[in-house]
Chain A
Amino acid sequence: MTELQAEQGAQALEVPREAKTRRNRDALIALAVFVVLALLPTVFSSKLLLDFVIRCAAYGLFATSLNLLVGYTGLISFGHGMFFGLGAYGFGLMMQKTGVPVPAAFVATLAITLVVALVIGAICVRLKEIYFAFVTLAFQMLIHSTILSWVSLTGGDQGLRGGIPRPPFLGIDLSNQLHLYVASCALLVIGLFLMHQIAQSPFGYTLRMIRDNATRASFIGIDVWRAKLTIFVLAALFASTGGIIMALFVSGAYPEFAYWTISGEGIFINMLGGVTTFLGPMVGTVLLLILNDTVTRLTDYHGLVLGIVILFFAIGLRKGLMDFVVEWYAQRRNGAGERG
């Protein structure tokens, strides 16, 4: 793993022109993935599959943004789900109460998330790891209990009911499943592309340095607090986007979206897929959703089975799936002698 990191570190020193080519290549890959996803309904017309991909988009954005904190910066947030819930509720309320167009509500929700994340982040990011984990968790519970007790606004434990109005805009009608599917895929691909750019930018390498040695980073003049706060807010924005997709998908928002288990699942997704690769959380999301659907169908004791699977990964494997893939690939390349 250290070799891998060293290699990534070396890449950061590339001349800017090559960084630009790489960005173009990333954009091309993103575009290709989007086209494939968008054409999927013409091949498989299963509604279940489309629903599955929409949920993957919502949770995938959430989990990948969490990885920016956990994997890249070493900030173990146990309350990242609050921004998922905030996105869902913010967007749902905006659409229900004000009737503004969808894009306006989307931007406004992100703006609200930005402010909330700035305030919470400013308090949290200077805390040491365990304190950070639990204080973020406490904020998550604060938001959850606010949602539960502010019945007149949020509907309390019933959630936002009566559906979220989704008026068509620019020829896109989000109440149509196919349109929603394409929009979710677009948001997912754009979100992943942006997060990848953040991770590959000089700022992304600053984050890795803070993770590996925060004291040293601060000695060479990096404002650690500001860098942590920046990534905390950025990650919150992407998590919020995931929440918005979820609210659009279920046409409502429920207190469970802001409950701590969402954060727990996010951490587990990262573990499942692996935090050392950018796409690990995405793989983890697909795995967890498949696992969840299967387990819920087979047994009432969903937590029991999930818990045992988590134990298997945490104690037995100690790595995510993508970590194994990367190791296997690195070994193969080494074996073939293609690398110096």
Chain B
Amino acid sequence: MDLDALTGCLASSACLVTQTTSGFIIGMLLFLVAVGLTLIFGVLKVVNFSHGAFYMFGAYFAMTAYQFSGSFALAMLCGAAGTAILGLIFERVFMSRVYGADVLMQLLVCYAFVLIFDDVVRMIWGPEFKSMGMPAAFQVVPLFIAGGVVPPYYLLLIGVALTAAMILGLGLARTRIGKVIRAAAHNPGMVSALGINTGLIYGGVFALGGMLAGLAGALAAPVRSLTPGMGFSVLIESFIVTVIGGMGSILGALIGALLIGMIRSFGSLGFPLFTEGLMYLFMVIVLVSRPTGLFGKEVA
């Protein structure tokens, strides 16, 4: 425990800005993964235990695309689109077979794919740590805000994630497709009786969730190291986020992700060895006081 470092940081604006930015980065990446998880749960009523794999694939797709083309935009696009297709196939071919079955089966199918995907990545890209490297466009002098260092790439990352959150939120609330998705979450039988292809919606939602996780992976690729199994810790953290925020709530995912981001960022100063423990502790406190999460409704 190093409380002096924590209070010292809170007193200096430079350190405050740096830590807050890094908390935002962690939070925004987590949000993108967690919102997919929560969306899939809200509509399909399954917990995609293999969601971390999409994050991992997004990062690897982006790295490969960047190495071949040298274009950062293309890398992001490949990361997102590749995982969207993967999600669609995964849902239609495998997950759709276990919707009626009990949770055990769903967990097992996902568990199987966690094992399979990790090994597939190991086969294609090798077991060692990889790094994509920061694109040249962002290798510029960092910004200084109130004495704190903020790399421009971080701003882009936060911007992209917030844009995605807004599009998602507005899309679900205001568009026709959003309405159909919400209806399907509420009563799939009725939606299907009205002549809407629910299978397509399920596949689409899964693809969307996969795409968001893939986008998170692609955005993380320049700043994190890539390794098979990298998705799992992200999965656990984004699960904590959804538990804190409430399953099925997008706003909850955003708030939960930012809280976890800040806990990680500031916790690493005050409690370097117990940073992860802090997250779990926080989750337990939330669960004990509000079993359905901060913004969750009663799960049917």
Interface residues of A (CB under 8 A from B): 70, 76, 78, 123, 126-131, 133-135, 137-139, 141-142, 145-146, 149-150, 260, 264, 267-268, 271, 275, 301-304, 306-308, 310-311, 313-315, 318
> Do residues B111 and A268 form an inter-chain contact, with CB atoms below 8 A?
yes
B49 CB, min distance to chain A CBs, angstroms: 8
Interface centre among A134, A149, A275 (most CB of B within 10 A): A134
Query: CB within 8 A of B119: which of A78, A149, A267, A301?
Result: A301
Query: CB within 8 A of A301: which of B123, B239, B247, B299?
Result: B123
A147 CB, min distance to chain B CBs, angstroms: 12
Q: Does B274 contact A (CB under 8 A)?
A: yes
Q: Does B98 contact A (CB under 8 A)?
A: yes
Given contacts A123-B284, A146-B277, contact A267 B116 (CB under 8 A): no
Q: Does B223 contact A (CB under 8 A)?
A: no
Chain B, interface SS category: helix
Query: CB within 8 A of B243: which of A134, A145, A271, A315?
Result: A134
> Do residues A304 and B101 form an inter-chain contact, with CB atoms below 8 A?
no
Interface residues of B in 165-199 (CB under 8 A from A): none
Interface residues of B (CB under 8 A from A): 41, 47, 94, 97-98, 101, 103-105, 107-109, 111-116, 118-120, 122-123, 232, 236, 239-240, 243, 247, 273-274, 276-277, 280, 283-284, 287-288, 291, 299
Enumerate chain A residues within 8 angstroms of B109, measured Cβ to Cβ. 310-311, 314-315
- Report the bound CA distance from A134 to B239 in whole Å: 7
Query: CB within 8 A of A135: which of B116, B243, B277?
Result: B243
Chain A, interface SS category: helix
B244 CB, min distance to chain A CBs, angstroms: 11
Query: CB within 8 A of A310: which of B112, B123, B280?
Result: B112
> Do residues B291 and A138 form an inter-chain contact, with CB atoms below 8 A?
no
> Do residues A133 and B103 form an inter-chain contact, with CB atoms below 8 A?
yes
Given contacts A76-B103, A130-B299, A145-B276, contact A138 B115 (CB under 8 A): no
Query: CB within 8 A of B104: which of A142, A271, A302?
Result: A271
Contacts A/B (CB < 8 Å), 13 sampled: A76-B107, A130-B247, A131-B291, A134-B243, A137-B239, A139-B280, A145-B276, A275-B104, A307-B116, A308-B112, A308-B116, A311-B94, A315-B98
Q: Considering only CB atoms, which chain A residue lies closest to B127 in the complex?
A: A300
Query: CB within 8 A of A127: which of B47, B118, B273, B287?
Result: B287
> Do residues B119 and A131 form an inter-chain contact, with CB atoms below 8 A?
no
> Do residues B291 and A127 form an inter-chain contact, with CB atoms below 8 A?
yes
- Report the bound CA distance from A131 to B280 in whole Å: 14
- Report the bound CA distance from A303 to B104 in whole Å: 19
> Do residues B98 and A135 form an inter-chain contact, with CB atoms below 8 A?
no
Enumerate chain A residues within 8 angstroms of B103, measured Cβ to Cβ. 76, 129-130, 133
Q: Considering only CB atoms, which chain A residue lies closest to B276 in the complex?
A: A145
> Do residues B104 and A304 form an inter-chain contact, with CB atoms below 8 A?
no
Enumerate chain A residues within 8 angstroms of B247, measured Cβ to Cβ. 130-131
> Do residues A303 and B273 form an inter-chain contact, with CB atoms below 8 A?
no
> Do residues A76 and B274 form an inter-chain contact, with CB atoms below 8 A?
no
Enumerate chain A residues within 8 angstroms of B123, measured Cβ to Cβ. 301, 304
B112 CB, min distance to chain A CBs, angstroms: 4
Enumerate chain A residues within 8 angstroms of B277, measured Cβ to Cβ. 142, 145-146
> Do residues B94 and A315 form an inter-chain contact, with CB atoms below 8 A?
yes
- Report the bound CA distance from A150 to B274 in whole Å: 9
> Do residues B240 and A138 form an inter-chain contact, with CB atoms below 8 A?
yes
Query: CB within 8 A of B115: which of A123, A142, A306?
Result: A306
> Do residues A301 and B122 form an inter-chain contact, with CB atoms below 8 A?
yes
- Report the bound CA distance from A311 to B108 in whole Å: 8
- Report the bound CA distance from A264 to B97 in whole Å: 20
Interface centre among B104, B276, B288 (most CB of A within 10 A): B104
Enumerate chain B residues within 8 angstroms of A267, measured Cβ to Cβ. 104, 107-108, 111
Enumerate chain B residues within 8 angstroms of A128, measured Cβ to Cβ. 299
Enumerate chain B residues within 8 angstroms of A311, measured Cβ to Cβ. 94, 109, 112-113, 116
A325 CB, min distance to chain B CBs, angstroms: 20
Given contacts A131-B243, A308-B116, contact A318 B280 (CB under 8 A): no
B232 CB, min distance to chain A CBs, angstroms: 8
Given contacts A303-B116, A303-B118, contact A138 B107 (CB under 8 A): no
- Report the bound CA distance from A267 to B97 in whole Å: 19
- Report the bound CA distance from A268 to B112 in whole Å: 9
- Report the bound CA distance from A134 to B114 in whole Å: 15
